[in-house]
Structure 1
C-alpha cells in the first residue's frame, strides 16, 4: 500500500512538473513553437500568432497578438485576443471560457465558418474594432458583446442571452446608417430589442421591439425625427418596406411618433408633419385596424393639387370604422371641421361645419365622390352648419354653380334602406346665387323637416331673373308604400330650359307660367309608374323661334349642324351668337294641359303656330309601357307634314299635295 501511494505521489508530482514546465515555456521564446502545433491539432485549422502574454500570477488569463486564422477561402486577421479560462474549464464536454475579448477583426468576405470550433463555449464574447462586409451589409468600427456563445448543430445563431451592438457606420441596401446602437436579448423562441437607435439621412430613429413566437414583432415605441423625402429619393422608403414585408412578420406598433416630417412628391407633399399613433398593425390596411389611435398635424399638405393648411386630425380606427374626435383643416380658401364616425359604407357625424369654402369640383373628384356615395348605406349628421360656401362644376352633364350657400340642420338622417331622403331631422338651405343647368336663381331658399317619418318641404323658393318657382310637398317615408304629394308653381321659367328634358323639341324660347299638382306612391319605380297622378298647366308667353319654316323642316330631318341644336351648351350658343346675329321669329303657343292618371299621361293637343308652319303635340304616354306611347309630334308646312313619335328618332313624311 505504501509503495502504491508512493508511486501515485510521484505521478502527480510529475504531472505538476509538466504543467509548471509548460506554463514556464509561455514566458520564453519557445511559447509560439509549442502552442501553434497544439492549437492547430485541436481546431483542425491553421492558426498563427505573433506574440503571447501570460503571467503565472493570473494562470487563467492569456493574451495572443497578431493572430491569423486560415479557413478555406477566408483569412481572418486579429490584432489581439484576450482569453479568460473558466475555473471549471470543462462544461458539457466543451472547453469553457469566462470571457474572450477580440480586438481589431476584419471580415471582408462575410461571416467565417463555425466548423472546428464546436468544442468551446464562451460566457462573455466581446469584439471591438470590427470591420465587416458581405453582399448586403458593410460595418465600420463595430463593437459587439454577446453572452453564452456556443456553436450548436441545431441552431443557426450561436449564442443565447443579452447582446450589445454599436458601430459608427452601417451600410444596408445602399443606405448609410450612422451611430448605430442596439441593446437586446436573444433566445430561440424570444427576442427583445431593449433599445435601438441610429441616424439615417440626418434623421434620428429610435425604437424598442419584442419578437414573440417568431411571428409577431411587438414594438412598444418607434420614433422617427427630422425626416425629409423628395422625388429624387422616393425609393428609399420602398426598399426597406419591401424587405420587411418579405420577412413574413406581423408588426404591432404600440406607439409611433413621426416628428418634423417633410415630404415633397409629385402627387403629395407635407410640411412639418407630426404624427402619433398607438396600436397599429402592419401590414394590415386602414380598415383592418383594431383600436388604433392616430393624431397628426402639419403646417401644410398638398394633395391632388389642393393646398390644405393647418390640418389637425384625431381619430381612432376600430375595425371597419373611424371614430373622429376632431378634424379641422383649411382648404379651398375656407375651413372644414367635423367629428363623428366614418366607414367605407356609413357616415355618422356629430358635427359638420364648413366656412368660406370655394370648391371647383373636377371630373375626377366628382367621379371619386360619386363612387363613394354609391357604397353608402347610412348617412347621419347630428348638426350641420355651412356658411358662405361656393360649389362649381361646369363640365358635367348637368352643370351647376352655387355661391353664398348656407346650410343649417339638426338630427339629420339622410340615407336609410339604400334610399336618400330626410328620414329624420330639420334642414334649411339658402344660396345667394345658384345656377342649375344654366337656370339662374338668386336668394334660393328651401326649408324642410321630418316628424314621425313624414318628410315635409315647408317652403322652397327659387327666384328667377324674370319670375319665381316655388313648391311644397311631403312623403310618408315610414309607410310601406311611401305616399307622396307635391304642389308647384312658377312664373318666368324659360322655355329653353324645359327643352333639355323633352325629346324631339324644336328651337323655342320665351317664358312660361305654370302650376302642378301631383301625388302617388314612391316605394319603388314600378309603384311610382303605376300610381302617378297629377295635372300640369302651362301658359306660354313672349314665344319665339330662331328658325324659319324651312329651317325647322330641315332641322326635323336632321339636315342642320349639330352645334346648332337647341340642346347645345350655353357656351357654344354664345360663341355662335358672337359670330352671327340670331334671327327671332314670333310664334303663338296655346295654353298647355298635361294630366296623369295612374301612370298614363295625356297631353291635350298643343298647337304652335308660326309663319308658314304649324307644330302640334298630342296623344298619350304610358309610364308603365313607354314603348306603347302614342304621343305624336308633327310639323306641317303647306301640304307637307312630318310626323314623329315622342322619344323616337324615326320620322314619317306625309304629302297631302295633289
Structure 2
C-alpha cells in the first residue's frame, strides 16, 4: 500500500510539474506562438494571440490579448483586443467547452464564416463588451457598434453561429438591419430553434424612439402584444400602396399599437405628425382589427389633405370605413363605407364635400381612363353630396369652371371591372354660374341617370346672358359610346356656339335648335364623329365631322 501511495503521489507531483511547465511555457511569447502554430496546422482554423495572462485571484479564468481567429483561407472572423476564458470541470471531458467566454473591444465579421463551418468552441455563457458586429451580405445586412450583451448558452452549429436554443440580452448603437438604421437598440428574449421571443425591445431610430415586445413562430408569423412609436421621422422610396402591399408585410398580429407624432416622406407622398391607436390588427387570416388615426397633413401627389381623421374596422378581410374627415381644397370632405375583399367592391354609404375650391389636375382625363388598383373592382356611392363647390379645369383645349355647385346623388356606381365611368344611379346638379370654353352660363341645372345600357343627362336648363336654353343628352354604354344631343333656346347670343362647336363667326341673338349625334372614344374625350343640324330663324346648317 505504501508503494501504491508513493506512486500516486509521484504521478500527482509529475502532473503538477507538467501543468506548471505548460503554464510557464504558454505565458511566454515563444510558447504562445508555438501553440498558435500548432492549432493553425492541426485544425481548419488560423489563430493568432499576442499574450496570455492569468490572475491567481481568479484561478479558473485566463485572459488573452490581441486575438485573431478565423477559417483557413478566409479573412478573420474575430479580431479582439481581449478574450477571457473561464474554465470548468467539464473541460476534462470536453476541452473546447468553457464556462464563459468574454470578448472585449473586438470585431466580429460574420460574413467571413462559411455556411458549412461549425465553430469548434462553445460556452455556457458568451459575453460581448464593446464589440463591433459586421455581416455585410447584401440580402441579410447586419452591423452594430458598441455591442454589449450575453448569450446563454452559446452552442454554435452549422449555419447557426449563435446556436439554435439560447436566451439573450444586448444593447448596441448604430445598428443596421436590412438597410434600416437604428441609433440605439436594446433587446432581451430567447430563441428556440425557429421560434423567437423578444420580451423587451426598445431603441432610438430616425430621431424618435420605440418600445414593445414581440415573438415569431416557427411558421414565420409575428405576434406583437405591444408596440409604441414616438416622434419617428423617416423616408422611403416606396409608394403608399407599395408600402402596405401583401408582399411587403409578413404575417403579423399587433394587439396594441400606439403611434405618436410619426412622419413619413415617401415616393410622391408625405404624411406629417401622425398619431394612431390600433387594437388586434392582423393580416394572417384576412385583414382584422381596429385603427384610429389622426394626422396634421397628408399629401398624395399634388393633392393635400389637412387634419385627416380616420377610423377603420376590419373583420374577415373586409374593411369598414367608420369615419373619414379632412380639410381639402379649402373645404371639407367626409366619408363612410366599406370595402369587401371577396368582390373588391368599395361602397361608400356617404361621401360629402363642402365649400371645396378645386382645380382639376392637367391629367384628369387620362386618370379616368386608367384602370383602378387590382384590389378595387367597383366603386358605389350610396349618397353623394356636394355643397357650394368650385371646380375649375384650366386645360387649354376646352377649359371650364363651375361656381357654387351643388350635387346630390344616390346609388351611383362610378367604377366597375376596374374602370371609371357612370354605370348606375341618379344625381341632380345645380351651379349658380358656369363657364365652358370661355362662354358663361348661369343657373345651370340638370339631372343624371345611368343604367348599364345608357347614360342620360336630362332636363338641361341654363341661361346664356338673358336667353334660356333647355336640352337632353343620351350616351350609350357600349364601347363606341354613340350619343344624341338636343338643345333649344330663345334670345340666345349666337356667338356662344363659336366657343363650342360652330367653326365660323356668328353674331346677333335669337332662337335656335341643335340636334347632334356621334361617337365618343370615352366619356371624357371629344367626339370621334359628329353629325347634325344647327337651326335658327334665318338659316339651317349641317354640322358634321368624320
What is the TM-score of this pair, normalised by structure 2? 0.70
Stretches of structure 2 lacking an aligned partner (at least 5 in a row): 41-46, 523-530
1:203 to 179, 204, 208: 208
Classify 1:130/1:208 alpha carbon distance in 2 versus 1 (closer, same or farther; 3 Å). same
In 1, are the aligned partners of 2:390 and 2:403 still within 8 Å (CA)?
Answer: yes
Match of 2:382 in 1: 382
How far is 1:33 from its partner? 0.4
How far 1:124 moved relative to its partner?
2.0
Contact residue 171 and residue 187 of structure 2 kept, 8 A: no
Give runs of aligned pairs for residues 120-139 of structure 1, distance below 5 A. 120-131=121-132, 139=144
The equivalent of 2:310 in structure 1 is 313
How big is each residue's C-alpha offset from its partner over 1:601-634, in whole Å with a ceiling of 9 and x where there is no partner? xxxxx6xxxxxxxxxx7xxx9xxxxxxxxxxxxx
Find out whether 1:252 has 2:248 as its counterpart: no
CA contact (8 A) 1:216 1:249 kept: no
Corresponding residue of 2:35: 40
Choose 263-272 or 447-456, whichever is displaced more. 447-456
List per-residue Cα deviations over 1:276-317 (Å, max 9, x = no partner).
673369xxxxxx985586653211234444442101233468
| 1:190 CA drift (Å) | 3.8
Aligned residue for 1:397, secondary structure, equals coil
Tell me what 1:573 maps to: none
1:124-155 Cα deviation digits (max 9, x unpaired)? 22233435668787655432311232354x33
- Shift in CA distance, 304/508, structure 1 to aligned 2, threshold 3 Å: same
Offset at 1:387? 0.6
Question: How do 1:103-182 residues align onto structure 2 when only pairs under 5 Å count?
Answer: 104-107=104-107, 120-131=121-132, 139-152=144-157, 154-167=158-171, 169-170=173-174, 172=176, 177-182=182-187
Q: Distance in 2 between matches of 1:382 and 1:474?
A: 23
Partner of 1:339: 336
Do 2:143 and 2:176's aligned partners in 1 also have CA atoms closer than 8 Å?
A: yes
**Cα distance, 1:355 vs. partner?**
0.2
1:336 positional shift: 0.9
Within 5 Å, which residues of 2 pair with 1:553-564? none
How far 1:113 moved relative to its partner? Answer: 7.4
Task: Name the counterpart of 2:263.
Answer: 262
CA contact (8 A) 1:131 1:139 kept: yes
1:51-66 matches, within 5 Å, as 51-53=54-56, 62-65=60-63
Given that 2:368 and 2:420 are in contact with CA atoms closer than 8 Å, whether structure 1 keeps it comes out as: no
- The equivalent residue for 2:362 is 363
Q: Which residue in the other structure is 1:227 paired with?
A: 232
Structure 1 residues 318, 489: CA separation in 2 closer, same or farther (over 3 Å shift)?
Answer: farther
CA distance in 2, matches of 1:364, 1:454: 26
State the distance in 1 between where 2:387 and 2:196 align: 56
C-alpha spacing 1:181/1:377, structure 2 compared with 1 (3 Å):
closer
State how far apart, in whole Å, the 2-side matches of 1:310 and 1:67 are: 60
Q: CA offsets per residue over residues 57-105 of structure 1, 9 Å max, x none?
A: xxxx61224545454886955557352414x5456x55544x2152634
Aligned to 2:507: 509
Q: Is the CA contact 2:517–2:532 (under 8 Å) kept in the aligned structure 1?
A: no
Give the equivalent residue in structure 2 for 1:466.
466
For the 8 Å contact 2:456–2:473, the answer to whether it is kept is yes
Tell me how far apart the structure 1 counterparts of residues 476 and 395 of structure 2 sit (CA, whole Å): 36
Report the alpha carbon displacement of residue 379 of structure 1 after superposing the two structures with TM: 4.0
Deviation of 1:445 (Å): 2.3
Point out the structure with max Rg over C-alpha: 1
Aligned to 2:491: 492
Give 1:356 deviation, angstroms.
0.3
Q: Is the 8 A contact 2:237 2:266 kept in 1?
A: no
Q: SS in structure 1 opposite 2:470?
A: strand
CA distance in 2: counterparts of 1:268 and 1:401, whole angstroms: 28
Give the total of aligned pairs: 498
2-structure distance, mates of 1:77, 1:416: 65
Runs (5+) with no aligned partner, structure 1: 56-60, 282-287, 525-533, 541-588, 593-605, 607-616, 622-645, 649-658
TM-score (ref. length: structure 1): 0.60
Q: CA deviation at 1:335?
A: 0.5
Q: SS at the partner of 2:504?
A: coil
Q: Is the 8 A contact 2:439 2:499 kept in 1?
A: no
Greater RCO (Cα-Cα under 8 Å, separation 6 or more): 2
Larger proportion of helix: 1
Going from structure 1 to structure 2, the CA distance change for 1:331 and 1:537 (only over 3 Å counts) comes to closer
For the structure 1 residues 201 and 53, does the alpha-carbon distance in structure 2 shift closer, same or farther, using more than 3 Å as the test?
farther
Find out whether 1:279 has 2:282 as its counterpart: yes
Deviates more, 1:334-343 or 1:398-407: 334-343
SS in 1 for 2:260: strand
TM-superposed CA distance for 1:386, in Å, is 0.9
State the partner residue of 1:349: 348
In 2: Cα distance, 1:433 partner to 1:374 partner: 35
Is 1:170–1:176's contact at 8 Å kept on the other side of the alignment? yes
Answer yes or no: is 1:100 the counterpart of 2:100. Answer: yes
Q: Give secondary structure in 1 for the equivalent of 2:496.
A: helix
Residues 333 and 76 (structure 1 numbering): CA distance in 2 closer, same or farther, change over 3 Å?
Answer: closer
In the alignment, the residues of structure 2 paired with residue 389 and residue 307 of structure 1 have an alpha-carbon distance, to the nearest angstrom, of 17
| Equivalent position to 1:83, from 76, 83, 86 | 86
Local SS of the residue matching 1:149: coil
Displacement of 1:474: 8.6
Per the TM alignment, residue 433 of structure 1 is displaced from its structure 2 partner at its CA by 0.7
Deviation digits for residues 389-422 of structure 1 (CA, Å, limit 9, x no counterpart): 0101132533211011111223334567989557
Tell me if the contact between 2:165 and 2:193 (Cα under 8 Å) persists in the aligned partners. no
Which residue in 1 is equivalent to 2:424?
Answer: 423
Task: Flag the 1:264–1:126 CA change in 2: closer, same or farther, 3 A.
Answer: closer
Aligned CA distance change for structure 1 residues 261 and 120 (closer, same or farther; 3 Å): closer
